[in-house]
Amino acid sequence: MGIARLLWDIDDTLFDYTTAERLGVLQHLSDEGLLSEFDSPERALSLWQQDMEYAYARFLAGELGFLEHRRERVRLFLGRTGRSLPDTRATDAWFGRYVRCYEDHWRIFPDVLPVLDALRHRYRHGLLSNSSTPHQHRKLKKLGLRRRFSSLVCSDEIGCAKPAAEAFAAGCAGLRLPADQVAYIGDKLTTDALGALGAGLLPVWIDRPATDPEPAPSGVHRIHTLADLPGLLEVIDFGAVPPIG
């Protein structure tokens, strides 16, 4: 039995989250007059990401709701400056201004639409994301991608997150297929590829930066552009030699 469905990660796989966040944060901190509070823009960005990762881990662990995790990020980050911390309403407004800057830079990667078009008739497609369902639904609609996927499963609804096998099982349930007939495409080696491998899916690691000189772990299929996905699936399903180029 071959691969019948493709299950996709969203952030930094379909959607260029890293660039949108970087440009959005720098614009927001500049607008708020906060960049001068840090040694450099890179330092400010690094601390923002550090606070985001801490608060997001608490969200994924179920310790904070999505809105609360945003408030925690503001509290942590502004706590690094000499400024007084705003009340809840002002905190939400502050984060809302960041979100507007961030959304101004929302883009999908240029190889996404061509590969979805190429694979549209051969596979049905679903989504599995460590995030909030309303947040990802809104993002996908704004990016014009939502209708291309038959299912959207997010960690906030299922109560577990990748790399847990239960999260991948929920993503496969959304596609109504057993794990061994589903390929998972994601950008993170441990969270996505090794998690999918452990859960019995076929893991495809989209390694866009291509900075890791080590071979991909056994069982993990690494590509550097989604343009290589159709050829890889041909080989896996039919043992065909992919076209060169």
Which residues are at the interface with Mg ion (CB under 5 A)? 9, 11-12, 187
Query: Could you tell me the two tokens for 72?
Result: 């925690």
Q: How far is the CB of 150 from Mg ion (least distance, A)?
A: 20
9 vs 156 by CB, closer to Mg ion: 9
3-state SS assignment for residue 81: coil
Please, what sign has the CA dihedral across residues 21, 108, 133, 31?
A: positive
Which of 216, 14, 8 is closest to 123 using CA atoms? 8
Q: How far is the CB of 188 from Mg ion (least distance, A)?
A: 5
75 vs 208 by CB, closer to Mg ion: 208
Which helix (H) or strand (E) element contains residue 46? helix 41-60
Q: How far is the CB of 12 from Mg ion (least distance, A)?
A: 4
Q: How far is the CB of 11 from Mg ion (least distance, A)?
A: 4
- Write out the E strands in 116-181: 124-129, 151-154
9 vs 16 by CB, closer to Mg ion: 9
59 vs 94 by CB, closer to Mg ion: 59
Q: Which amino acid is at 59?
A: F
